[in-house]
Amino acid sequence: MITKLYNTTTNEVARELLRLREDGGAVALGRVLTLVVISDDQLNEEAILAANHASGEHPMRVIVIHAYPNGGGARLDAEIRIGSDAGASEVIVLHATGETADDPETLIQALLLPDAPVVAWWPGSDCDAPSESPIGMLAQLRIVDTHDHPDGFESIRQLRDGYVPGDANLAWTRLTRWRAQIAAVLDQPPYEQVQSVEIVGGRVSSGILLLAGWFRHYLKVPVEILVQEDNLPGNLRSIRLFRDSGAIELERLAHDTARLRQTGYPDQIVPLMLRDRFDVLSEELRSLAQDPVYEAALLQGTDELQLDELK
């Protein structure tokens, strides 16, 4: 069900939400967090769907701020989505124009769940210093997604310059299963030192650079990034680790499978599903703590790569 309020206030929105819950017999006690989605310009319905999907694992209140300061006079319209239109969450969409859009922190104060952590999410790739934004200052976890940023090098520089503990990036979360597969192979004999790493991608995205930074920081070996244009889904094509006994290669074959090659072993077809926002957002919300591995890959690893020389 979607209830719309026009030329309203956040206090009126909060009262209407309470009334709808009471009429429907729902309670807010099961909500574990407040997810604030910052959606400038165009309302990001895909992000709302991703939040609804994640709410099956993390019941929450979702507040979507759709702000356009240059959209005319000061005004606030709102939508309250509950039931089938909100998954296991309750969704509040705030359409703020003019001066109303200039103070998003005050805008959401009356709608935050009491005594529950706040997570801020920028579904676009245009927030380079999330902790410095008004909403970011409220949040325990700040999630960006630089996966589609057109310049991977620039996005990494911006994130590195603005990083504080508690920042997260879905471009990094998309790499979890690749990293897990590689780590599992390295835990098996022969226990040899990796001499170098080669990463192949459709383009040099921020995720490719973060993965290269992870290898560079933790293995202390040279990392080469190659670009291969083809019709494979996703961006990351393959990872090769070179050791004295031969190479380890993990190569994507399709949207859900990859081939693992290792000297002395038969080829294996392993599951490696191409991950969407629904999946990676759910993973990121499982732990609200800072990610020290992401921090090391971003701050130390990409710095050790000497990005200017990679271009």
Cα distances (Å, whole numbers) of residue 16 to 23, 79, 97, 237 = 10, 10, 21, 49
Please tell me the distance from the alpha carbon of residue 5 to that of residue 78, in angstroms, as a whole number: 5
Q: How far is CA 131 from the centre of its chain?
A: 15
Return the residue matching tokens 């709302």: 48
**pTM > 0.85: yes or no:** yes
DSSP 83-149: GGGSTTSEEEEEEEEGGGGG-HHHHHHTTSPTTS-EEEEE-SS--S-GGGSHHHHH-SEEEE--TT-
Consecutive H or E run containing 249: strand 246-252
Q: For position 259, what pLDDT does the model report?
A: 98
Domains and CATH numbers, the chain: 2-169 (3.40.50), 170-311 (3.30.360.10)
Residues β-bridged to residue 269? 259
Tens of pLDDT along the chain (311 residues)? 889 999 999 999 999 998 987 776 555 556 789 999 998 767 788 888 888 888 888 889 999 999 887 777 889 999 999 877 666 678 999 999 988 888 889 999 999 999 999 999 999 866 778 999 999 999 999 999 999 999 999 999 999 999 999 999 999 999 999 999 999 999 998 899 999 999 999 999 999 999 999 999 999 999 999 999 888 888 999 999 999 999 999 999 999 999 999 998 999 999 999 998 889 999 999 988 899 999 999 999 999 987 655 65
Residue 47: both structure tokens together: 């992000």
Residue 171: both structure tokens together: 């471009």
Q: For position 138, what pLDDT does the model report?
A: 94
Q: For position 101, what pLDDT does the model report?
A: 87
